[in-house]
Amino acid sequence: MSRDRIQIAGAEVAVVGGSIAGCATALAAHRAGAGRVTVYERTTGRLADRGVGLAVHNARYAELAAAGYMDAAMPWVQLATRRWYVRDGSAPLGRQVGVLPFPFRSYCWGPLWQELRRRLPEDTVFRPGVRVAAVSDAEDGAVLHLDGVENGEGAESGEGGERRHTGASRRTERFDLVIGADGYRSVVRDTAFPGVRPGYAGYLAWRGAVPADRLTELGFPGLPADPWAEEDCIYGVFAGGHVIIYRIPDGRGGRRANWVLYTAPPAGLDLGLDTPTSLPPGTLTDALYAHLAHVTEELLPPYWGGLMRLTPRQEVFIQPMYDFTAPRYTAGRLLLAGDAATVARPHTGAGAVKALQDAAALETALHAVRERPDALAAYGAERGETGRTMVELGRRLGRFLVQDTPDWRTLGQSGVEAGWAAADGSGAFGGRELKS
């Protein structure tokens, strides 16, 4: 069988990366008839505990629910309206300069991942704490070179407790198909397309969340204890950046206020960001924390800045903004999905959507393999087009919202509408329509 004519029925499939994209693509392979699916996740912590928020456009949710990758059992909050505020003296909320529709459902990353994880069949092999160090070709498949395998075993099946790996050794394992869902530093992509690297956009995203019951601590005179509606998404804008704030489920029946601040780091601060990296919780430097304090205290309206400061320093983390798309999504027996294939800036509101759409499109392609040997190439062409669209959208929105911001104080409703329409352009905000 040639390298590009892979029969999925009974195939041995490896998925590198066990987050949302990894679980979704593993589910796609199962549904398409794969024999055994093994998922490799390099971390050993509880992925279900991740509390970052994400949003899914209502129309994209409907498509993904029809495809079987989302449903109402996944905890969510319905959002409807985007309200844009600028600082205006001591006015707690600032001054509203525009209102736009925001037909999105918000989720918490951890519970969403957990629901996808639960959908995997019990015979799925899930290996936490195993790092795929390299991928290479073999005569009859693709070979994973593994670190952190416990005595050559280290498998954890089903939804049971995750095991730590001790007595690490290195071994190789062969598969018929390898799916790279291992993020923007993907080892699978490095094998398929050496030298393709995400490019740093020049600014950062600070992230945090606050339990909703803590918002009463803000206590601004004249404001009710909860001055913004649950269906509102807040855009706090200033020269050189903005913050987005919206409620997400906390996975326990409550709510959290999720916030993401986009702005450049202080001038002259060398963070070594030309090499893709991130700053996880607990690693915020004094200089970065001081800059965050300046933005929240001096540039944003008092209430929204105060809300952000309720997040303890050790819980704030930073994502440098990178973007890129691989030249193709497939190379022989290697296939890319999620951020391993394309990273678009989060302004697009479509990061999780794109990963789940990749899985749905992959399932469709794999079902067609017997009748259409070029099905994997078709998957790559269709998803590659979407990836390029989202990267360009992220760049345009980045210029409008961070890199070349208008004078928000003079913009008003018509100016916000016109500025957003020009930046969105293709109307792809929230993700492109999933092709059937």
265: Cβ–Cβ under 8 A, 6 or more apart, which residues?
A: 203, 204, 271, 288, 291
Mean pLDDT of 399-418: 96
Burial class (CB in 10 A: 0-12, 13-18, 19+), 1: exposed
Per DSSP, the chain holds a count of helices (H) and strands (E) of 9, 21
| pLDDT number for residue 8 | 83
CA–CA dist 428, 420 (Å, integer): 12
pTM of the model: 0.91
Q: Which of the pair, 389 or 157, is modelled with greater confidence?
A: 389
Residue 218 and residue 158: Cα distance in Å, rounded? 44
Sheet arrangement for strand 156-157: 156-157, 125-128, 36-41, 12-16, 177-180, 334-336, 330-331
Percent of the chain with pLDDT strictly greater than 90: 74
Q: Residues 204-222: what's their mean pLDDT?
A: 94
> H-helix or E-strand containing 403?
none
Q: State the pLDDT confidence band at 47, using cuts at 50, 70 and 90.
A: low
Which residues, in sequence order, are CB contacts of 95 under 8 Å at separation 6+?
Answer: 85, 86, 87, 88, 301
Please determine, for residue 130, whether its predicted confidence score (pLDDT) is greater than 70: yes
pLDDT of res. 375: 67
pLDDT of residue 421: 96
What whole-number distance in Å separates Cα of residue 118 and Cα of residue 403?
A: 41
Q: Measured between alpha carbons, how far is 231 from 306 in angstroms, rounded to an integer?
A: 20
Chain-wide mean pLDDT for the chain?
A: 89
In whole angstroms, what is the distance from residue 83 CA to residue 98 CA? 6
Give the tens place of pLDDT for each residue, 145-186: 998 654 444 444 333 333 333 345 679 999 999 999 999 999
Q: How far apart, in Å, are the Cα atoms of 356 and each of 70, 285, 330? A: 9, 34, 17
Query: Could you tell me the pLDDT band of residue 216, with boundaries at 50, 70 and 90?
Result: very high
pLDDT above 70 (res 33) = yes
pLDDT value for 121? 94
Mean pLDDT along residues 329-346: 93
Average pLDDT over every residue of 296-316: 97
Q: Tokens for 418?
A: 């016109």
**pLDDT tens figures, 347-380:** 999 999 999 999 999 998 888 765 445 667 778 8
pLDDT bracket for residue 197 (50, 70, 90) = confident
Quote the CA–CA distance of 184 and 191 in Å, as a whole number.
13
pLDDT at 370: 55
Query: Tens digits of per-residue pLDDT, 313-322?
Result: 999 999 999 9
What does the pLDDT read at residue 369?
A: 60
State the Rg of the chain over Cα: 22
Which residue's entry shows tokens 């007595």?
167
Residue that has been written with the tokens 């707690």 in this structure: 92
Give the residue carrying structure tokens 């210029």.
Answer: 399
Pairing of strands 36-41, 12-16: parallel
Q: Which one of 194-198, 267-271, 391-395 scores highest in mean pLDDT?
A: 391-395
What pLDDT was estimated at residue 167?
42
pLDDT in tens, 220-242: 988 998 899 999 999 999 999 99
Residue-level pLDDT at 163: 34
Whole-angstrom Cα distance, residue 109 to residue 355?
Answer: 13
Rounded to a whole number, what is the largest CA-CA distance in the chain? 73
CA gap 340, 283 in Å, rounded: 24
Q: What CA–CA distance (Å, rounded) separates 226 from 219?
A: 10
End-to-end CA distance of the chain: 28
Taking the C-alpha atoms of residue 376 and residue 378, their distance in angstroms, rounded to an integer, is 5
Q: Per the structure block, which two tokens stand in for 205? A: 């995203």
Q: Please tell me the predicted confidence (pLDDT) of residue 196.
A: 87
Is residue 143 over pLDDT 90? yes
| Residues 93-120, mean pLDDT to the nearest whole number | 95
State the pLDDT at residue 48.
60
In this predicted model, what pLDDT tens digit does every residue of 18-28 receive, in sequence order? 999 999 999 99
Of 146, 117, 116, 177, the C-alpha closest to 40 is 146
- Average pLDDT score over residue span 57-65: 97
Nearest to 116 by CA among 73, 69, 72: 69
Task: Please report the pLDDT score of residue 4 as a whole number.
Answer: 52
**pLDDT at residue 336 greater than cutoff 90:** yes
